[in-house]
Amino acid sequence: MKIVLQRVSQASVTIEGSLHGQIGQGLLLLVGVGPDDSQEDLDYAVRKIVNMRIFSDEAGKMNKSVQDVAGKILSISQFTLFADTKKGNRPAFTGAAGPEQASQFYDAFNQALSAFVPVEAGIFGADMAVSLVNDGPVTIVLDTKNR
């Protein structure tokens, strides 16, 4: 899995002109699923995301997790995180999992996250307009194959 985490003060996703999901303080996740991703990758990602101390404490030090600040998560599927740009000018996405596998894995990931933190999500495969107010800004890339 490849996941971009953005600490936000607000984020939303609109699909076909209608608001589909919205959060206040929390994390916006852009989630890419690879063909070799396993339950171990899913468990690792969930554990890291809900416990990562990237929110400020009273002293202004990044010392609190999304759980500690009662934050929420907006999760957006993003196969383009697997873009291969080595050849030519058109990215190839052959490194991403196929749609059926990725959709099931993405749903399982969101379900696992929701056991710890409230989760809003986009619709897998939909054309989505995502807006956010990046807090910090704090943006972190998590690659479950690079641990």
Catalytically annotated residues: 78-80
The token pair at 138 is: 């704090």
Here the tokens at position 84 are 């291969």
One-letter amino acid at 5 equals L
Residue 122's nearest CA partner among 105, 134, 110 is 110
Please give the C-alpha separations between residue 74 and each of 19, 42, 89, 130, in angstroms, as whole numbers.
13, 17, 31, 10
Q: What is the DSSP letter of 97?
A: P
Nearest of 24, 126, 137, 121 to residue 70 by alpha carbon: 24
The three-state secondary structure class of 47 is helix
